[in-house]
Structure 1
Amino acid sequence: MPHPSNVRVIILSVLVLCAPTTWADTYRLTIDEQGISLTGEKQTAITANGVSPAPTLHWREGEIVNLQVSNRLKTETSLHWHGIILPYEMDGVPGISFHGIGAGQTFNYQFKVQQSGTYWYHGHSGFQEQQGLYGALIIDPPHNHHPADRDYAILLADWPEDRPERIMARLKKQSDYYNFQKRTVGDFFSDAREKGFFETLADRMEWGEMRMEPTDLADVTGATYHYLINGATPDMNWSGLFAAGETVRLRFINASAMTHFDVRIPGLKMQVIAADGQDVDPVAVDEFRIAVAETYDVLVTPEQPQAYAIFAEAMDRSGYASASLTPKIGLRATPPGMTPRTLLTMADMGMPASGGHQHDHAAATEMPVENEHAGHAQHQQHNADDAPAHSMHDHQAMLRQQAEASNAHKTLSYPDLRASQPDTGWRAPDREIKLRLTGNMHRYMWSFDDIAYADADPIRLRLGERVRFTYVNETMMNHPIHMHGLWQYLDNGNGEYSPKKHVINVKPGTTASVVVPADAVGEWAFHCHLMYHMDAGMFRKIIITAGPKP
């Protein structure tokens, strides 16, 4: 569908003596419904200014922005500015930070921009984000440390054939409804030949007792999803132009409701320069996994005048999104073949493998892995991500040296992320809050500490304290944990250079730790960013107040 550029009204600010001149921009966004045809059948999308994805907004660090959001829907709507530091009344979460935007009403968001980088915005009412209400948000810094000849936002998304309400109803009745990739009798005999009959039988019995499948990598899959880049299917082929030798900045934003993507550009090395809008020491990679709601900025320098595929395959390999980086209009890249999916193992769940043997990810792939996606590199990445925090940095440095020496396929992992600038307020946390990530796949219930949001007390913090949050994932699913209004400093062994993120992906059966400075008074949403997990109860409220200890 067409993507006209956003129309914004620029108002000159008043020059104030003894203060720098700023520009105050007013953006007008109208939320409405519009018919689209991405799947071959007519469907309805929730749009902003008539388009989905919503218009890309460009702000400048230090300015005061005004956003007038008008609702032409018959139901309530809202917009959340994901990853943006602002007064909590402007955060855009109905029932927590404001009342929402009623049908026929207009709400004016106004706040000062205190950061720069790549972010996004999306609906926070019902399933409107899944229905197309999302867009890129680019904030320019006072001084650009990573100049590029071209600059593109790459919005990844999953568009369903089913209505979101129907998806949720089906998951409630049968949590694996969309898993069309279950193991078969043929797989049993194939595994028995490779691993032995009794070990294979024990493995199947263990998974059966847990009422789980090692193929349950995603709740909602390509059985209903069409995967998009900037609102376009692979056949529609969104294209970004370049000239040979130019440096191109690609701002990847995972605006999906439920899909983690593995991203690569065959033939090009990517240099990761930012995570969740924050600069990190550059890391050269061949591939990276981007969790739901995360952002990564990369630089590429195509030397040849040929088309390159921007390829994002769903983590469960049920489909992919693809676009072209091309030197001329009409020249499109051929998408590469998808790589084999990696199945979950008992070791991933923190349990001994069948027969007392520990199976790594390479052993759990369904077929030999192609050279450009080496299973050995996957295995190294998994072990590095799950290592204790005190040993992560040294271990990852060793893996980087090994990879460089062997010219192995390099996949980004969290231990690679090191902030470009130190945290000037770095100190030991004042206390720790441990949260178990819990769920019942059979009943499709998700929560923190086995308590759904409706029954949970708020998490209370005191202004100025630093709190360690430890996330213990007791489920077989990835959970991208998002904290509104606050930064999470990922404890990945880099101390004061720990990267600060607004989303932390916690892998199945693993533990992740972050340090959170409680520096913003207000009431903030805190949840898993998988939309159907959030709706099913994996949600809390954080309240930060000034005063005595909570």
Structure 2
Amino acid sequence: MIASIDRRAFLRGATLGSGGLALAGALPAWALPGSAGIAEGLPVLSGEDITLRIARTTMRIDGRPMHAVAVNGTVPAPLIRLREGQQVRLRVMNELDEESSIHWHGLLLPFQMDGVPGVSFPGIAPRATFTYAFPIVQAGTYWYHSHSGFQEQDGLYGPIVIDPAGADPVLSDREHVIVLSDHSRLSGRAIFTRLKQQPGYFNRQRQTLAGLLAGQDQRAGDRRKWGAMRMDPTDIADVTGATYRYLVNGHGPQDNWTALFRPGERVRLRIINASAMTTFNLRIPGLPMTVVQADGLNVRPVEVDEFQFGPAETYDVIVVPREDRAYTLVGESVDRSGMARATLAPRPGMSAAVPPLRRRPIATMTDMGMGGMDHGAMDHGAMAGMDHAMRAFSNAPTVRKGPGVQTIAPMPIDRTGAPGQGLDDAGHRVLTYRDLVALEPNPDARAPSRQLEIHLTGNMERYMWAFDGEKLSEVTAPIPFRAGERVRVTLVNDTMMGHPIHLHGHFFELVTGHGAHSPRKHTVLVQPGGKVSWDVTANEGDWAFHCHMLYHMAAGMMQVVQVRGGADAA
């Protein structure tokens, strides 16, 4: 294997490579290269003893300085490369003036090492050091990030690659780690304050008269009906390109971060959504992708042209660029307000055409939890269903009623066979969860002994988010599991926004019809108005369970799963 992942040479050409100058005039202004291309890999740390230093820094994005929280002076944090079967000790030094922490996302470890302040350990005090120590019992692509305040938004995140103890079933000639993220001149705390003061603060894509006349927005009658419900069908993302720069490995679209290849090579891309709030639609125009791993675990290869993934999800893909030319990697935000952009090329300094942002999606009745009634215009029956959606609290007896619950989805549907919000008319192959099939049989094929339904609830007008209408600060007891028991969990999304739900310390099997080869994941994106079921075997400990949209979690969409053994367990 060509070890491109360890290459750290910083290469900047004086001019654009072949064809680059001709393309420059066609690029949108925000994507015009500010450099001829940056072919710089992430710094790499490995071994049994690793030191990480958390401190504030200034980073440059598209040539502009921005404040950040960094690890060892870099954003993203260094790539940690480990091997299955080894022991690791990670000494984390907190040089901030506030508490910090690191959570090892997707790693199976003792819960005391999981890194969630107030749940699994006290946190790392200012100017203090904490040493994480645990065995590495798995292989794959993972990542790490702060679980304190809004430090994750401010830059405290980085990739983890764990090589298998034996032969890797995924064959490649070269590989690159691709970390997608979002960054703002505003601090995470400032963004959260604005969301609490004015929901929709960052939405600059509301419906207009021009959009109505062009047939791109809702018809006038439908718009009035949505307005009467105090719902905005363009509210697809809470935080948007109005404040975000979307990054690849810490670089903005103008920086033109570049991953190198030789024509004909099998190139493995380890793609991580390390954003705080952004669901990305990822594609490489002109270059099919073969998905070989999801959330760090191997799946049967499936060829696609695009996939949607929420914060905290990861996908490994194989691409085989056969031509001696550049390709653009596009990470388009779900609301189409901006994109992360990188280049795959045989040489530094090359660039390819950057496609324009596609038309932003408009929320539908399916997104409102009325999947059986989405027929375009709102007829009287549909409106009656909408009225029911506003009053149907009695249909969800587990949900705590109150100002934090704006609606209950009256007809949520399983959307694991759908490509994701806004991608129904993509015109090419888009990955769905049902396309994922585990390469190896799951380790626990027992049927679940009980079922648990959890509603994802919210009120955009007050920016309140919760499980079952009960935000974390109101919860009086954790969710109880027995160690080793099998539970089927069904998540019902009663809101009009997607939620990537993560259970720490576990992998769960999506119930998508593949039996013993059901895909195992640590995070699942529950589409608006949709529902997802998964089976899980409970691991002993106290585990955070939350939406991985950072501000949804901060606003209350988080609880603790407590797993205990013995007769006193639930």
Q: TM-score range by the shorter chain?
A: 0.7 to 0.9
Q: Is the 8 A contact 2:455 2:491 kept in 1?
A: yes
SS at match of 1:187: helix
Report whether the alignment pairs 1:462 with 2:500.
no
What is the RMSD computed on CA atoms of the aligned residues? 2.3
Contact 2:78 2:159 in 1 (8 A): yes
Give distance in 2, aligned partners of 1:84 and 1:158: 23
Structure 1 spans left out of the alignment, 5+ residues: 11-24, 359-384, 397-402
Q: Which residue of 2 aligns with 1:145?
A: 169
Alignment of 1:329-408 (within 5 A): 329-351=348-370, 352=373, 354-355=378-379, 386-387=413-414
How far apart are residue 218 of structure 1 and its match?
A: 0.2
Q: How many pairs are equivalent?
A: 491
Please point out which of 34, 47, 69 is paired with 1:46.
69
Counterpart CA distance in 2 for 1:252 and 1:421 is 22
* Alignment-derived partner of residue 185 in structure 2: 161
Name the CA shift for 1:7/1:528 in 2 (closer, same or farther; >3 Å). Answer: closer
Alignment match, 2:43: 5
Amino acid at match of 1:175: P
Question: Do the aligned residues in 1 keep the contact of 2:415 with 2:532 (CA within 8 Å)?
Answer: no
Superposed counterparts of 1:71-220, under 5 Å: 71-142=94-165, 143-191=167-215, 200-220=219-239
Deviation at residue 210 of structure 1 after TM alignment: 2.6
> Contact 1:308/1:333 (CA < 8 Å) preserved in 2?
yes
Q: Which amino acid aligns with 1:287?
A: E
Tell me the CA shift for residue 68 of structure 1. 0.6
Against the structure 1 CA distance between its residues 436 and 41, is the aligned structure 2 distance closer, same or farther, given a 3 Å change threshold?
same
The change in CA–CA distance for 1:182 and 1:54 in structure 2 (over 3 A counts) is same
Contact 1:3 1:55 in 2 (8 A): no
Label 1:471 to 1:4 Cα distance change in 2 as closer, same or farther (>3 A): closer
Match of 1:13 in 2: none
Tell me by how many angstroms 1:387 deviates. 4.6
CA distance in 2, matches of 1:540, 1:477: 19
Of residues 481, 484, 491 in structure 2, which corresponds to 1:471?
A: 491
Give the secondary structure class of the aligned counterpart of 1:235. Answer: helix
Matched, 1:501 2:531: no
2:84 maps to 61
Displacement after TM superposition at 1:6 (Å): 3.5
2:512 to 475, 488, 492: 492
Other-structure match for 2:52:
29
Percent of paired sites with the same residue: 47
Query: How big is the shift at 1:29?
Result: 0.6
Shift of 1:7: 4.9
1:482 and 1:528 in contact (8 A); partners too: yes
Task: Name the CA distance, whole Å, in 2 between partners of 1:270 and 1:189.
Answer: 38
Question: Could you report, residue by residue, the CA deviation over 1:199-253 in whole angstroms, capped at 9, with x for unpaired residues?
Answer: x344113311332211111000000000000000111111111101000000110
Partner of 1:280: 299
Q: State the distance in 1 between where 2:42 and 2:321 align.
A: 28
Quote the offset at 1:3 in angstroms: 6.7
Please give the per-residue CA displacement for 1:237-283, whole angstroms capped at 9, x wherever unaligned: 11111101000000110000000111111111100000000111110
Cα separation, partners in 2 of 1:386 and 1:434, compared to 1, 3 Å: closer
TM-score by length of 2: 0.83
The answer to whether the 8 A contact 1:481-1:503 is kept is: yes
Q: Structure 1 residue 27: deviation in Å?
A: 0.6
The structural deviation recorded for 1:150 is 0.8
Measure the CA separation in 2 of the matches of 1:207 and 1:76. Answer: 43
Aligned pair in 2 of structure 1 residues 203, 99: CA closer, same or farther (>3 Å)?
Answer: same
Match of 1:247 among 245, 263, 266: 266
Distance 2:437 2:42 in 1: 37
Q: Which runs of 4+ in 1 moved over 4 A?
A: 1-4, 189-192, 385-389
Instruction: Please tell me whether the aligned partners of residues 45 and 79 of structure 2 are also in contact (alpha carbons under 8 angstroms).
Output: no
Query: Aligned residue for 2:409?
Result: none
Aligned CA distance change for structure 1 residues 422 and 236 (closer, same or farther; 3 Å)? same
Query: Is residue 202–residue 355 contact of structure 1 (8 Å, CA) maintained in 2?
Result: no
Instruction: Describe the shift of the 1:388–1:221 C-alpha distance in structure 2 as closer, same or farther (beyond 3 A).
Output: closer
**Residue of structure 1 in register with 2:246 after alignment:** 227
More contact order relative to length (CA 8 Å, sep ≥ 6): 2
- 506-515 vs 338-347, which moves further: 338-347
